[in-house]
């Protein structure tokens, strides 16, 4: 959200809430999944590609979107 505000919509506003509030709103509990991309990263390196860290990749995407006026 901070990157969207920084690069695309400076007027963007949002509210955060506590976990208790979120659980009271949801019909089913939220699944907290941790994905391991090690196999993907290893395979991509074999082809000469490097997987960027998520923050770096997201920032690059928001910069591209800002340049395109999205």
Residues 34-64 have pLDDT tens digits of: 889 899 999 999 999 998 888 999 999 999 9
Sign, CA torsion 34/38/44/50: positive
Any idea of the CA torsion for 47, 56, 11, 69, to the nearest 10 degrees?
A: -30
- Whether the per-residue pLDDT at 19 is higher than 90: the answer is no
Q: What is the rounded average pLDDT for all residues in the chain?
A: 89
Contacts 24+ apart (CB under 8 A), 62-66: 62/3, 62/4, 62/6, 62/7, 62/8, 63/7, 65/7, 65/8, 66/7, 66/8
């Amino acid at each position: 959200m901070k990157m969207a505000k920084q690069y695309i919509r400076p007027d963007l506003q949002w509210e955060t809430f506590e976990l208790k509030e979120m659980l009271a709103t949801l019909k089913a509990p939220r699944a907290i999944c941790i994905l391991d991309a090690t196999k993907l990263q290893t395979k991509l390196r074999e082809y000469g590609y490097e997987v960027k860290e998520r923050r770096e990749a997201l920032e690059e995407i928001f910069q591209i979107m800002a340049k395109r006026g999205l």
